[in-house]
């Protein structure tokens, strides 16, 4: 909670659930990344929070942008970024979307297979491509599937294919998993990347960039290492595996940039018990899995929740959303401790919600409006 958000909620008293994002926190985060990793370019992951005010601030501060779609490319451009500061980082792109991004000036694209390389070669001649490799994601709190990336052994063939088709085989990317609390998680992936650089060099092709991805955490209930600790661990990994042939590096923070800048204000709609003998109460909020808290899926992300009664005795609660969907339950396997005095109508503040909330919210499930957002 920041003073500016507290003041906004006190004076504006917005009705219904809403997210409030404090730009001062975003600025601090950007500057701490820039300071801790001065030789690394920051590509903000637009999908984390594409609010125009957030993008405009970051563009002004000199950030680059990692985009997932043509719509996000346009948002980054509208915010003031030049096309050379935009990466089309989704490995899954329609050919016509690549063509549009290329027309808009974007020259940097992610790939993880030969078919994607061929699309880019057809409609974005001469563009730079980096190949995403798989990482096991151990230590990350948001699940990392095998959806993005190829086995490292395949990468040289894919990059050489790009080279032969007239593209610039530019580098390697990976993602160590979102909300990665282990600063050592980058080491193995950097080692893989260095191996691919060597293999490509043997083939006469010089790669230039390692895209270190995201994974930088937001502080939820558990402490997380500082940005400096990540910077040090990554720097050590680069030195270990690349020696004095240090590549160009970029990072793609999303959650780590905006997560802690946002707070969701919500309201207790109902408190009840399912039977007289239950120890666990059910607390229903006016926001749930379909209203912006999608990352509570499988109870993956556990947000800090504050109430005005936090000094009182705490008891275990199942926390659920307001929709008529049985799956709209946030914390049940591992109940959430909330004040026994919590009442219908009480305000609750859900912290660390600046990332992956507004855009995840459903258009109108059960007739509920999407999450409102205020950027201050």
- Residues 63 to 82: which contact a copy of itself by CB under 8 A? 67-72, 75
Specify the DSSP class assigned to residue 69. Answer: S
Q: Are 33 and 243 in contact (CB under 8 A)?
A: no
Q: Give whichever of 5 and 362 is closer to a copy of itself, judged by the CB atom.
A: 362
Q: Give whichever of 300 and 376 is closer to a copy of itself, judged by the CB atom.
A: 300
The alpha carbons of the chain give a radius of gyration, in whole angstroms, of 22
CA gap 345, 14 in Å, rounded: 14
Contacts of 189 (CB under 8 A, 6+ apart): 133, 135, 174, 176
How many residues can be counted in the chain?
376
User: Which residue of 275, 279, 313, 334 would you call a contact of a copy of itself, by CB under 8 A?
Assistant: 275
Contacts of 145 (CB under 8 A, 6+ apart): none
Tell me, by CB under 8 A, how many residues bind a copy of itself.
80
Say whether 324 is catalytic: yes
State which of positions 138-197 bind a copy of itself (CB under 8 A). Answer: 142-151, 153-154, 177-178
CA gap 196, 194 in Å, rounded: 5
Give the x-and-dash track for 321-340 against a copy of itself (CB under 8 A).
Answer: -xxxxxxxx--x--------
Q: Give whichever of 165 and 269 is closer to a copy of itself, judged by the CB atom.
A: 269
- The distance of closest approach from Cβ of residue 120 to a copy of itself in the complex, given in angstroms and rounded to an integer, is 12
Span near a copy of itself by CB under 8 A; candidates 83-91, 185-193, 216-224, 257-265: 83-91
Q: What is the DSSP string of 200-269?
A: HHHTT----EEE----PPP-SSS----HHHHHHHHHHHHHHHHTT-PPEEEE--SHHHHGGGEEEEEEEE
Residue with tokens 């994974």: 215
- The distance of closest approach from Cβ of residue 93 to a copy of itself in the complex, given in angstroms and rounded to an integer, is 7
Q: Are 241 and 197 in contact (CB under 8 A)?
A: no
Span near a copy of itself by CB under 8 A; candidates 22-30, 137-145, 304-312, 346-354: 137-145
- The distance of closest approach from Cβ of residue 301 to a copy of itself in the complex, given in angstroms and rounded to an integer, is 11
State which of positions 291-310 bind a copy of itself (CB under 8 A). Answer: 294, 297
User: Which residue of 22, 30, 44, 116 would you call a contact of a copy of itself, by CB under 8 A?
Assistant: 116
Span near a copy of itself by CB under 8 A; candidates 26-34, 221-229, 241-249, 280-288: 280-288
Residue 216 makes contact with a copy of itself by CB under 8 A: no
Query: Of 84, 92, 94, whose CA–CA distance to 132 is shortest?
Result: 92
Q: Which run of H or E residues covers position 187? A: helix 186-202
Residue 368 makes contact with a copy of itself by CB under 8 A: yes
Span near a copy of itself by CB under 8 A; candidates 17-25, 33-41, 221-229, 278-286: 278-286
- The distance of closest approach from Cβ of residue 13 to a copy of itself in the complex, given in angstroms and rounded to an integer, is 14
Distances (CA, A) of 29 to 4, 34, 52, 256, 374: 16, 9, 17, 8, 19
Residues 18, 113, 150, 324: which is the catalytic one? Answer: 324
Catalytic residue positions? 324
């Amino acid at each position: 909670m920041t003073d500016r958000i507290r003041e906004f909620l006190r004076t504006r008293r917005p009705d219904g659930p809403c997210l409030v994002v404090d730009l001062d926190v975003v600025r601090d985060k950007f500057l701490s990344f820039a300071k801790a990793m001065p030789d690394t370019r920051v590509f903000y992951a637009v999908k984390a929070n594409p609010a125009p005010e957030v993008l405009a601030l970051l563009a002004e501060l000199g950030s680059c942008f990692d985009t997932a779609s043509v719509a996000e490319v346009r948002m980054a451009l509208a915010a003031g970024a030049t096309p050379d500061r935009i990466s089309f980082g989704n490995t899954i792109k329609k050919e016509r979307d690549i063509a549009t991004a290329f027309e808009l000036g974007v020259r940097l694209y992610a790939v993880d297979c030969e078919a994607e390389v061929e699309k880019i070669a057809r409609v974005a001649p001469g563009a730079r491509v980096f190949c995403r490799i798989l990482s096991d994601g151990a230590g990350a709190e948001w699940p990392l599937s095998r959806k993005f990336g190829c086995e490292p052994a395949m990468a040289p063939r894919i990059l050489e294919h790009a080279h032969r088709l007239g593209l610039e085989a530019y580098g390697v990317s990976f993602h160590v998993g979102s909300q990665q609390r282990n600063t050592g998680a980058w080491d193995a992936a950097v080692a893989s990347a260095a191996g691919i650089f060597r293999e490509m060099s043997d083939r006469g092709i010089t790669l230039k960039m390692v895209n270190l991805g995201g994974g930088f955490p937001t502080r939820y209930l558990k402490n997380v290492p500082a940005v400096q600790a990540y910077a040090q661990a990554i720097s050590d990994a680069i030195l270990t595996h690349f020696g004095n042939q240090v590549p160009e590096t970029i990072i793609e923070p999303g959650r780590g940039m905006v997560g802690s800048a946002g707070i969701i204000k919500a309201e207790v709609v109902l408190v009840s018990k399912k039977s007289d003998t239950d120890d666990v109460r059910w607390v229903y909020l006016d926001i749930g899995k379909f209203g912006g808290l999608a990352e509570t899926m499988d109870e993956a992300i556990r947000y800090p929740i504050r109430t005005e009664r936090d000094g009182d005795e705490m008891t275990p609660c199942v926390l659920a959303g307001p929709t008529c969907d049985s799956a709209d339950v946030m914390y049940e396997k591992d109940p959430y401790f909330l004040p026994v005095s919590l009442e219908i109508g009480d305000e609750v503040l859900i912290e660390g919600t600046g990332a992956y909330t507004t855009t995840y919210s459903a258009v109108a499930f059960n007739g509920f409006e999407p999450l409102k957002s205020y950027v201050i």
